[in-house]
Chains A and B, each alone.
Chain A
Amino acid sequence: MKRKVAVIGVGLTKFGKHPKVSSRELFAEAAFKAIEDAGIDLKDIEEAFVGSFLPDVLEHQGHIAPLVIDYIGLTGIPATHTEGACASSGAAVRMGYISIASGLRDIVLVAGVEKMTDFPTSDVTEALALASDDLFEAAEGLTFPGVFALMAKAHMDKYGTTEEQMAAVAVKNHRNALFNPYAQFHKEITIETVLNSRVIAWPLKLFDCSPISDGAAVIILASEDVAKKYTDTPVWITASAQASDTIALCEREDLTTFKAARIAAEQAYKMAGVEPKDVDVAEVHDCFTIAEIIAYEDLGFCKKGEGGKLIEEGETEIGGRIPVNTSGGLKAKGHPVGATGVAQIVEVVHQLRGEAGKRQVDGAEIGLTHNVGGTGATVTVHILRR
């Protein structure tokens, strides 16, 4: 018998540059906030899952799950590190969900953390490229922005998507971030800002790319009986889905879509018993502007090929038909890669509790998160409901 799973506490650090602050300290800040928000004691936590992508490469630190929980005074409980490139903590959410839904645990801590900004850009670029097929693709010089640039070019060729439409995603997400105190950027930009920024991987320019960031996000999950003891406003995880695909792009039939996202979305909608049109607010993985346009299509917010039109017509703005990335998204909130999956859940929880302030979507009841790992070889989709 599958049990219901609630989010009873959330915590975030500000995303951005935290010079000389290590993963464990970022984690602790978010964890103490989430524990306080949930109203639980440290000793109530029965298990922890920690998503992080590059601590071993960048910080020279492995075995990060027991390390970070020890820093907040927790030892003895099982602590497991999940890694799925930029979907590392989306995968952690799913592990937390499974451990409660299965009946094994009643209170679980799920975290995402990444420390990136103390290192040179070329080192970070090299490290992120680990999420590509190293032998067959990264070894040819393909970078992470390059992966999405190849898909952008394919989408432009097949559907006539324009650089202006991609730029509009960045403009929207920067505008939303103005109202998010945790966001890395609080600066409005224009289409021209994006088009005139320097080329990173043609046709993608600097402002098509999410930034390099530090940050942590933590949520506390609980079973139904326990959740009701701690809160009158639980947010339920009604679907948790994950799928995989080839890591190598060259082996994919269609480079204008993420097959793993379509599989995970289909399973999630079925599990939650809802349709794309029922979603009131969504946090999607806009690591690059083209990725948000493809996400609209993969999640069924519009027809295949019409993602460019959807952003152009303002449908995904706050106040539009389906507000996307009210937090500012990865583009403007920031993208500490391993923290992103949990941070997306935090934003949706704020929205469903009606705590999102000036970026609040009125009456939001159903929210969705979409977390893409690397080249799309891992994708998680979660659906939440108040």
Chain B
Amino acid sequence: MEEVERLVKKYFEFVSEKKFMGLKCKSCGAYILPPKSICKKCGSKEFEWVEFSGKGSLHTFTVIHVAAKRFLNDAPFVVGVVQLEEGPRIMARIVGVDPNKPETIKTGMPLKVTFIESDEKVLLAFEPEK
């Protein structure tokens, strides 16, 4: 029996190896993140994994002061929606900024990918592009 490639599982395997990978539709060329079983633009189910540039900008953000149990030790921390150069947006930790001075964090600021470790896992994060 042919093995089905589990896209979500594969994505997080890449993250655990500190690689920022996403899907590219083989039919229309659209970049897709988070992974989906179908391209919402053209309906194709044929993809290839490509490494994303890791460059983007801050679309919106919040500073989490009251965290869920598993992240109590991290608070306060910044979580933001990152507009990626390839088109999709992704939710990520924003590091290298001061969570106690949200007025100094600017939407639109250029970011680059990095990875942090929390909750015994590697997490996707972005930091200001110097």
Contacts and interface: CB of A to CB of B under 8 A. Distances in A.
A140 B92 contact: yes
Interface string A147-168: 0011101100100000000000
A195 to B, nearest CB: 15
A217 B91 CA distance: 36
Given A139-B123, A153-B62, A250 B90 contact: yes
Interface in A100-141: 121-123, 125-126, 129, 133, 135-141
A251 B68 contact: no
Given A142-B64, A255-B59, A136 B72 contact: no
Contact of A136 (B66, B71, B91): B91
What interface size band does chain B fall in?
35 or more
A198 B81 contact: no
A140 B59 contact: no
Contacts of A146: 62, 64, 79
A315 B53 CA distance: 48
A45 interface: no
Q: Looking at B61, B68, B77, B121, which has the most chain A CB atoms within 10 Å of its CB?
A: B68
A72 interface: no
B60 A157 contact: yes
Interface stretch (A32-40, A199-207, A353-361): A199-207
A143 interface: yes
Contacts of B82: 250
Contact of B66 (A125, A140, A150, A250): A125
B129 interface: no
A140 B107 contact: no
Contacts, number: 105
A249 interface: yes
Interface in B50-65: 59-65
A142 B79 CA distance: 7
A197 to B, nearest CB: 12
Nearest to B77: A141
Nearest to A155: B60
B69 interface: yes
A250 B89 contact: yes
B91 A202 contact: no
Contacts of A202: 62-63, 65, 102
B62 A201 contact: yes
Most chain A CB inside 10 Å of its own CB: which residue of B79, B118, B121: B79
Contacts of A150: 60-62, 79-81
Nearest to B36: A251
A311 B124 CA distance: 38
Given A135-B8, A138-B68, A140-B93, 19 more contacts: A121-B66, A122-B69, A125-B69, A135-B12, A136-B90, A141-B71, A141-B118, A142-B62, A143-B64, A150-B60, A153-B61, A153-B62, A202-B65, A203-B62, A249-B91, A250-B89, A250-B91, A251-B34, A255-B81
Interface of A: 121-123, 125-126, 129, 133, 135-143, 145-146, 149-151, 153-154, 157, 198-204, 248-251, 255
Interface of B: 8, 12, 34, 59-72, 74, 77, 79-82, 88-93, 102, 107, 118-119, 121, 123-124
12 contacts: A122-B69, A125-B66, A141-B64, A141-B118, A142-B91, A149-B62, A149-B63, A202-B65, A250-B81, A250-B90, A251-B34, A255-B81
